[in-house]
Amino acid sequence: MSVEAAGSDRRAVEQDCARLIARYANLNDAGDWDAVGSLYAPEGRMCRPTAPDLWIEGREAILDAFRSRPHRVTRHVCSNIVIDVLDPDHAVGESAMLLFTGDGPPKVGSFHDRFVRIGGDWRFAERRGTLTF
């Protein structure tokens, strides 16, 4: 593979994974839990920023966790997204997150993600959130 092709492929993976992060935020704000759950690999896992060491494992368990949340109005703002491509089917990334809710001060945190390509589509293999303040 030429250097240009390798760079082009890397940029495509970076863009696809960054888009996955943005879709996650938008779908989360819309309360579309089925669509949020579909962004995870079947064996994916996540930690909420409020519980960064408590893993929820498996797409169905993640979906159940989102469905059990009380309704709230939110707006997530993602920034500082950096994706590192490990190989054609795996990547890792970090992003900053600013969360606005209707019932409290904004929260600032970050996500550390592992991505996997399944059938040509990128999914979260792991999503770990943390709160900074």
Taking residues 114-130, report their average pLDDT.
97
pLDDT tens digit sequence for 45-81? 999 999 999 999 999 999 999 999 888 899 999 999 9
Q: What is the pLDDT of residue 59?
A: 97
- Of the chain, the end-to-end C-alpha distance in Å amounts to 45
Tally the C-alpha atoms within 13 A of residue 59's C-alpha that lie toward its C-beta.
13
Residue 2 pLDDT class (50, 70, 90 cuts): very low
Query: For residue 47, what are the β-bridge partners?
Result: 128
Set out the domains of the chain in order of their start, with CATH numbers: 3-131 (3.10.450.50)
State the Cα–Cα distance between residues 83 and 15, nearest whole angstrom. Answer: 8
For the whole model, what pTM was predicted?
0.92
Copy the structure tokens of residue 131: 């709160």
